[in-house]
Structure 1
Amino acid sequence: MASTLIKPIKFGKFMLRSPTTERFGIQQQQRMTLRTARPLLFKSSLPTQLFGDEVPNPSTVPQPSANRIKGSYHWMNERAVSIISVPILATAFIYGAHPINDMLMGIVLPLHVHMGFQQVLLDYFEQRRWPVLGRVFKYSLAVVTGLAMFGAWRINTTDVGLTSYFSRMWNANKNKKNISNNQ
């Protein structure tokens, strides 16, 4: 039964057997070769929109203005903060604690984390779709970043500094074992 639906079509010196001969005429099939594939061969029978809203019209989507803090410069700012953090961390590992390096770490590392989380919030909680929740997360991120910078400043000015502080935290378990073995 299936063999009666498939009729051979001759394209030049090639013989093609196709079930589409019942749907299209011979002349139309000759125009639809692999060399010049037509969209007619690939039309979907599914509805065009399955889930969610339609794609918005580009003219109705608000375009952000370019400025030095947001918009077109944010990639450059993120790369600069990432590149600056490499020598600061390398200096802390090589030379140990130094007040200027600790202060720079207290500024650059929270700023780097802030920029990373800001991109997550922009991707998943955009202002257009989540107006209240996006604003709450944006301001809470700014508050947490400010508190982290204040905490780093307090550790640097009233305590041993960030490098020594992290060194103590890193070696706390080793020191605890040494103290328990000596007793």
Structure 2
Amino acid sequence: MASTLVKPIQFGKLMLRLPTTAAFGIQQQQRMTLRTARPLLFKSSKPTQLFGDEVPNPPTVPQPAANRIKGSYHWMNERAVSIISVPILATAFIYGAHPINDMLMGIVLPLHLHMGFQQVLLDYFEQRRWPVVGRVFKYALVTVTGLAMFGAWRINTTDVGLTSYFSRMWNANKKKNIDDSQ
């Protein structure tokens, strides 16, 4: 004995209410679902194995030791340097030149650039494929970063400081145009 039901059927954003019998409603619902096999129809005598025997069990996988410079902490260090650079740059824009802020900027900005370029070198010049070129670029990056930090230190200690230096560079063309027009 089939009773007549009003079953809501959804087509996209439309909701249709069609009078159906109970059996027809179940068939309609089955047609609208994904076409997958029911798990009850298939019985297996042995437990399911998703991967073959070549995949080792987690306790047997050797875990590398945590290293503060490479690998496990590298991503966290990159994010910390990125977050630290925001208030340092904001302080330079808001308050202007200050020796402590200039010194922090001379450390954090080259370090931030070093970490970014290091990831580029790791992605495009991996050790397996480019053993010599990758090593040369890695040492060149360390050298350039050291020179950038030394240059920032020299500007901060013997010249006007990084904030004033960049401010003068930014406004140099404007002053030149003013001098030329007079």
TM-score by length of 1: 0.65
In the alignment, the residues of structure 2 paired with residue 99 and residue 10 of structure 1 have an alpha-carbon distance, to the nearest angstrom, of: 67
Gaps of 5+ in 1: none
Q: Does the 8 Å CA contact 2:107/2:149 hold for their aligned counterparts?
A: yes
Q: Which moved more, 1:60-69 or 1:32-41?
A: 32-41
In the alignment, the residues of structure 2 paired with residue 53 and residue 178 of structure 1 have an alpha-carbon distance, to the nearest angstrom, of: 74
Number of equivalent positions: 182
In the alignment, the residues of structure 2 paired with residue 134 and residue 61 of structure 1 have an alpha-carbon distance, to the nearest angstrom, of: 29
> Is 1:181 aligned with 2:158?
no
Q: Does the 8 Å CA contact 1:111/1:145 hold for their aligned counterparts?
A: yes
SS of residue paired to 1:160: coil
> Is 1:26 aligned with 2:36?
no
The offset of 1:31, in angstroms, is: 16
Call closer, same or farther: CA 1:44–1:34 in 2, change over 3 Å.
farther
Q: Does the 8 Å CA contact 1:21/1:29 hold for their aligned counterparts?
A: no
In the alignment, the residues of structure 1 paired with residue 151 and residue 145 of structure 2 have an alpha-carbon distance, to the nearest angstrom, of: 10
The offset of 1:129, in angstroms, is: 1.3
Q: Which moved more, 1:63-72 or 1:116-125?
A: 63-72
In the alignment, the residues of structure 1 paired with residue 42 and residue 171 of structure 2 have an alpha-carbon distance, to the nearest angstrom, of: 64
Seq. identity, %: 91
Call closer, same or farther: CA 1:2–1:156 in 2, change over 3 Å.
farther
Call closer, same or farther: CA 1:82–1:53 in 2, change over 3 Å.
farther
TM-score by length of 2: 0.66
Q: Does the 8 Å CA contact 1:32/1:38 hold for their aligned counterparts?
A: no
CA RMSD after TM alignment: 9.5
Call closer, same or farther: CA 1:164–1:27 in 2, change over 3 Å.
closer
Call closer, same or farther: CA 1:116–1:47 in 2, change over 3 Å.
farther
Q: Does the 8 Å CA contact 1:6/1:17 hold for their aligned counterparts?
A: yes
SS of residue paired to 1:17: strand
The offset of 1:46, in angstroms, is: 32
In the alignment, the residues of structure 1 paired with residue 11 and residue 84 of structure 2 have an alpha-carbon distance, to the nearest angstrom, of: 65
Gaps of 5+ in 2: none
The offset of 1:177, in angstroms, is: 4.0
Structural mapping, 1:25-64, within 5 Å: 35-36=35-36
SS of residue paired to 2:4: helix
What per-residue deviation string (whole Å, max 9, x for no partner) do you get for residues 64-98 of structure 1?
Answer: 64301110111100000000000000000000000
